Structures are given as structure tokens and as C-alpha cells.
A and B are shown apart, each in its own frame.
Chain A
Amino acid sequence: MSGIQISDFLSYAGYILEAGLLVYLLVHGYAKRLWELVFYLVASLGVIATRSYTLHHYGLGSSQYWNCYWTTDLLLVLAAFVVVASFFRRACFQNPEMWQFVRLLLGTVLIAITVVSFFSLSSHKDQVFSLFIVQFSQNLYFASLVLTTLLYLMTLKMDVADERLGMLVCGLGIEFAGPAAGLALFYLARGAELSRLVGVYFFPLCDIGMILTWFYAVSRVPELAKAPRRRVDAAPAYARANISHV
């Protein structure tokens, strides 16, 4: 199997999984309870459709596709930032004062990233717009990764009972950590072969990792912490998912 075929296979597997998870959420009535997942998946599928349209009309080497790719990437990372904010809100459900503080922190982080991204490009005045988007995306990915880690630590510290939230946060962590590393490599290698390979194989793999983790969290992990262990005969729904019926 050639590199292009593997890359296509990974990308299409990711799209199918995203669409599958979206359908699963809608069919099982999670659309309201887990609206942030639905929002992110719709945004992601919208981005895929836009990129496919631009690729079909302008070609892979065109500046239109380049601009479309990175602009949609920026929109996607902003959508992910919204998901992080919503998870924070979920974690602070019983602590409104903490949520006030977190809200301020999130706003400050977003403004700080915009300023840092702009000033770090002062030496590339000829390509400010295009490089700004790449730089901003990279910084926002990394900031979201740090925020996701803070969120994870907060769920541990505050002893948040929502088991599912912890798993969803881990999925988001994979989605942020992979691309943040890939984008940093892309920036360091300045478009060399290694960074292209990262974009081709690594990004779809991280996407698949996040979707599978979310699938697992939604389908198998209960929303709230389990009651104390009881010695009863019936297997719990959570564990029963491991059974393959004979």
C-alpha cells in the first residue's frame, strides 16, 4: 500500500468515524446533553466538506486551497476551544465562583495568544496573514492543550463525579497534543518532508484517537460516578459492553 493510499485510508476512516459518532449522538438522544460534541463534529464535517470543495475546484497546489486549509484549521481549533470552555463549565457545575475565574482566564488566554502570534511574525511582514493563521493555530492548539491539562487536573482536584467528562477530556487532550506537536515541527522544519509526513499520517491518527475515545466515553462510561460496589449477580451495564454473545 503506497503512502498516499494509507493517508487516504486514515483520513476517510476519520471522516466515517466522525459521521458515525454524530449519528450515534443524535439517534441516542445525546444532542442536548452533549451539545459541545455535536457542535465540534458538525464543525469538523463542515470543514471537511469545504476543503474537499476547494480542492476539487482549485487543486492541491493552489493558494486558494492553502488559504482555505489553514483558515478552516483556525475555525476548527476555535470550535475546539469552545468545547474546552464548555467542559470547564461542566466541571465547575457546582462551583460558580470557580467558573467566573475560569471564564476570565479563558478570555485572557485567547487575547494573549492573538497578541503573541502577531508580534512573533514581525520578521515576516510579506506573509503576515498566511503565517499569522499558522502561528495563531499552533499557539491556540498548544494553549488549548495546556488548558485541557488544567481541566483534567481540576477534575481530579475537585473530585468531579462525572466519569464520562474525564474520558472526554482525555480524548480532547490527544486531539490537541498531536497537532500542537505536528504544527511546531512544521514551523521548525519550514515545510520539509518530515513535517509533511506528520501532516499526512499523524493528524488523521490523532483525530481517530479522539473520536474512538469519545465513542468509548459516550457508549460505555457512565455519566456519574458509580455507586459503591455491590455483590449482586447481574453484570453492570458498563462492564457488560465487554461481552461478545455466543
Chain B
Amino acid sequence: MRKALLAAIVLVAGLSAMLLAPTSSADPPPGRVPHPAISVDTTTRSIDSPEVMRRTHMDMLKHQRDRTVHLGERRVKVTLNGCIDCHAGKGAGAAAGSVTGSAQAFCESCHRYAAVKLDCFECHQSRPASTPAPVSARPAAGGKP
């Protein structure tokens, strides 16, 4: 009797684990709610695991920006240019080119979803150093003193 009860518990636990197993993050759950379309360059390694980066990237950047601007610390682990070079770089797939400006862009895809204002790029360049600016973003020629 006890053995049968144990077997039943194991069976129920196994079934529920199968049912509750998370679906692949590549397929967003169906529904009317839009989900971020994150395209990650897997050929390069980020500075920490995706879980840590999702939660703390803003703290990392804010901490380091003050140390870089005021103390002059350069060539450090956390740099905004470092983020952009990979996440909008050649290997970033649909997100390549810029981290803002489209629903596929690496930063903007999540920030749109979470409705968090993204004002880094009012001053900072959102394209990797090697990527040329789209023609519309270039300032008018001339104006030489």
C-alpha cells in the first residue's frame, strides 16, 4: 500500500514537472502583449550571465560612468562602448547596426517592453565605432569656419 502511494506521488511530480517546464525563450508566449525580440550575439561573451546583466546592467553602468568621468578610469570591465560593440556589432543578427531605433535593437527591444525611458543615447553614440551613420542622421555638410 505504502509503495503504491509513493509511486503515485513520483508519477504526479514527474507529470507536473513536464507540464510546468519553461518553454523555449525563442518562442514568445502567444497573446496580444508584445514581447521583446532580443537577438544576442552568442559568439562573444558578455561580462556576466544574462540573469545578472538583466537585473544590474543599469547599476553597473551608473557606477562606472562616474568613476570614468571623474577619476579617469578607462579600459575597465564595464563600458557602454563595450556593450554597443557586441550588441550592435556584426554578430548581433537583427540587432546589428544600433542598440536603439527599432524594435529589434538590443537595448530598445526590452526598454520598449518594460516602458523604461532610455536616455543614454541622447548623448552617447548608439552605433559601434565602425558602423557608418545612416544618411538621415548625418549633419548637413559645410559650415567650415
Q: Do A and B come from one complex?
A: no
